[in-house]
Chains A and B, each alone.
Chain A
């Protein structure tokens, strides 16, 4: 089966750096995504990794190791508005096409 694990909750302070980990066991791996979701709203795309290594985009970076089934999202210079749920999602390729499978999300609380 497909399994994606993330910590349930994390807390951090403004200006700090936080790393949110994601481990996955899936078949037909075809890329990993990170989304941000504020309460009651739709998820918004943050980053995408398909090859091993680090992808940097402003204050956000994402890392992937396919051999270890591991990714992390790094948030720098935390702001209060970064308080949200962060969803790790794996794109899997099967006979029926591609599907995007989500983890349960990590709720990040940023305090002043």
Chain B
């Protein structure tokens, strides 16, 4: 079945360590997005990519990095420079000509 997959669902890391969150889609979508959600808050855009080998900063890109080497994959690295990384991270993809974005099930990152 086609879909968008994030892994792992729960992730624990020590403070000061970089960590990479996986996002894979087999929907043949061009555009992919990473959002962060804090308790009781909406989704804030971290990075997005319209095509392979190109990506743009969103509203809260500081302390994060991404790559888009393949159409299917858009991994997000949370670096040690991110001051408050504990959050729920959501990846989404959409075909530009379609109307809706499809979301992965999210990764809950806890930094201790």
Q: Which of A27-45 contact B (CB under 8 A)?
A: 31, 33, 40-45
Complex CA distance for A69 and B14, rounded to whole angstroms: 44
Contacts A102-B35, A102-B42, A103-B42; is A97 near B103 (CB within 8 Å)? Answer: no
- Is A25's CB within 8 Å of the partner chain B? no
* Residues in chain B near residue A45, CB distance under 8 A: 100-102
Give the interface residue-count category, chain B: 20 to 34
Question: Number of A interface residues, CB 8 Å?
Answer: 24
- Is B64's CB within 8 Å of the partner chain A? no
The answer to whether B48 and A43 have CB atoms under 8 Å apart is no
Measuring CB to CB, which residues of chain B are less than 8 angstroms from any residue of chain A?
31, 33, 35, 40-45, 48, 50, 56, 58-59, 88, 90, 92, 94, 96, 99-106, 108
